A and B are shown apart, each in its own frame.
Chain A
Amino acid sequence: MPKKVIEIRNLSYSYPDGTAALKDIGLDIFEAESLGVIGPNGAGKSTLLLHLNGILRGNNHIRILDSEINERTLSLVRRKVGLVFQHPDDQLFMPSVFDDVAFGPLNMGLSKEEVHHAVQGALKEVDMLDCIRRPSHHLSAGQKKRVSLATVLSMSPEILVLDEPSSDLDPKHRQDLINVLKRLSITKIIATHDLDLVLEVCSRVVLLDNGKLAAAGNVLEIFNNRKLLEEHNLGIPAKLCRTV
């Protein structure tokens, strides 16, 4: 039995305006597994992800790597859990690509050489090393997306949490991203509408709808349940269409 790295119990969350975004979620995530989080628009996928490194904290119980998230463990949790936001313009806020990718490592208190090393490594991983000195706002949407991933990879997290990592990417860079994700052996949690990415990268999948956990299980088991996917406004992954 692999080690449990994230334990979520009775997680409910309402936004300040009263909208209930998550209702009584319970979920375990195990070491080195890749978990896909799927669901229609507004299902609460992003809200769930924001709980995983303590950005949002409700009245609930979440344990990350054997420690409860609270004020004391917050910086440790954020060091271990790398969260990439969906919109690159939120993720990239420094004037140059280098400064952005160096932001996390600098906050971790690494030395100058270590920071340089981490930045180079992370940018190389996403094929953006050529752009290291460029200002972030001059990059294309897909390039920004890849740099966004690098900003978190440079912190060498133990758990990688991604919100819509493949949106805006061209087919080649989407495939490159999938390859990067497959190569990384750390725990990954990926919220996406890209079911084919889930099929390639993830071993297990949870389906959220209307803030509730609608289904959870093995990827093929869920994806072959056509009725379930259609009930929740999700299509059939292109790769499975032919076989069904």
Chain B
Amino acid sequence: MPAFGAYAMLIFLLVFLSKIPLMLVLNRSFSVVPFILIMSIFIIFIKPGEPVWEFSLGIFKLSITNEGLAMFLNIAAKAYLCGLCMLLLMLSTNFLNLLKALEKLRVPSILIMIISFMYRYLFVLEDELMRMKRAKDSRTIAGSRWFHARALANMLGVLFVRAYERAEDVYLAMCARGFDGGIRTIYDYKLRIKDLCFLATAVSAVSIIKIYIG
């Protein structure tokens, strides 16, 4: 457990160095908490061991064990720290640079392409939905909740069809510019001494915590 504290200190040090407001990181990090809880809450009941508390729901008997609790805390803390790291990475790194870095780390280019398309068209779809909603709202004077729900369902359907057709058009536009299945990009970032120093410091800090604190 003390190791988690040390890791957390390390992350907060990085947050401080990145000049991102701590409150922003913490606020955003709360949104991952429900997911962590949903994923890990069952461990309390499943892990066999010394029961601390038992209760029955009809024919089901649930028991919370010591070992289960310990493992739950362990996993939840780990997941939360991972979440913090991801947040810090996303907040401090431009998405384009992140894609280029993934490319350099030899992530398959097809995956990178999928991510980059997702990033590019998420905004287009969002705009499209917003425009449709505006157009709907400006023509809606009254109507029951059921009517609105149905209109929304129609909008989602239209959005799906448009996304599907746009995918075809984008593919045609790619072909028109000589796309033949091969993915080529230009990479003009360099690994500098500064980056190596940072990498070495980060790895040794994590290793020291792992070896001396456990």
A: which residues have CB within 8 A of B?
50, 53, 55, 75, 78-79, 82-83, 85, 87, 89-96, 99, 102-104, 106-108, 112, 115-116, 135-137, 151-152, 155
Contact = CB atoms under 8 A, between A and B. Distances in A.
Given A115-B186, A135-B96, A95 B120 contact: yes
B95 interface: yes
Most A C-beta atoms less than 10 A away, residue of B173, B180, B186: B173
Interface residues of B, number: 27
B152 interface: no
Contacts of A108: 178
B166 A112 contact: no
Interface of B: 95-96, 99, 116-117, 119-121, 123-124, 166, 169-170, 172-180, 182, 184-186, 188
Nearest to A154: B177
A55 B179 contact: no
Nearest to A91: B173
Given A83-B176, A95-B95, 16 more contacts: A75-B178, A75-B180, A78-B178, A89-B124, A89-B166, A90-B169, A91-B173, A93-B117, A93-B170, A93-B173, A93-B174, A95-B96, A107-B179, A107-B184, A115-B186, A137-B123
B182 to A, nearest CB: 8
A45 to B, nearest CB: 16
Scoring B99, B124, B174, B177 by chain A CB atoms within 10 A of each residue's CB, the highest score goes to B177
Contacts, number: 79
Nearest to A99: B185
A152 B120 contact: no
A85 B178 contact: no
Contact of A106 (B117, B176, B184): B184
The 6 nearest A-B residue pairs measured at CB: A107-B178, A104-B177, A106-B184, A90-B169, A137-B123, A83-B176
A85 B184 contact: no
Nearest to B168: A90
Contacts of A155: 177-178
Query: Which of B119, B124, B170, B176 has the most chain A CB atoms closer than 10 A to its own CB?
Result: B176
A94 B166 CA distance: 14
A204 to B, nearest CB: 24
Contacts of A102: 185-186
Given A79-B178, A102-B186, A115-B186, A55 B172 contact: yes
Contacts of B185: 99, 102, 106
A210 B169 CA distance: 23
A161 to B, nearest CB: 9
Nearest to B184: A106
13 contacts: A55-B172, A55-B175, A55-B176, A75-B178, A89-B166, A90-B170, A90-B172, A95-B96, A107-B180, A108-B178, A112-B186, A116-B186, A151-B177
Nearest to B165: A90
A106 B186 contact: yes
A50 B169 CA distance: 11
B8 to A, nearest CB: 33
B120 A136 contact: yes
A50 B96 CA distance: 32
A99 B148 CA distance: 41
Contacts of A53: 176
A72 B163 CA distance: 31
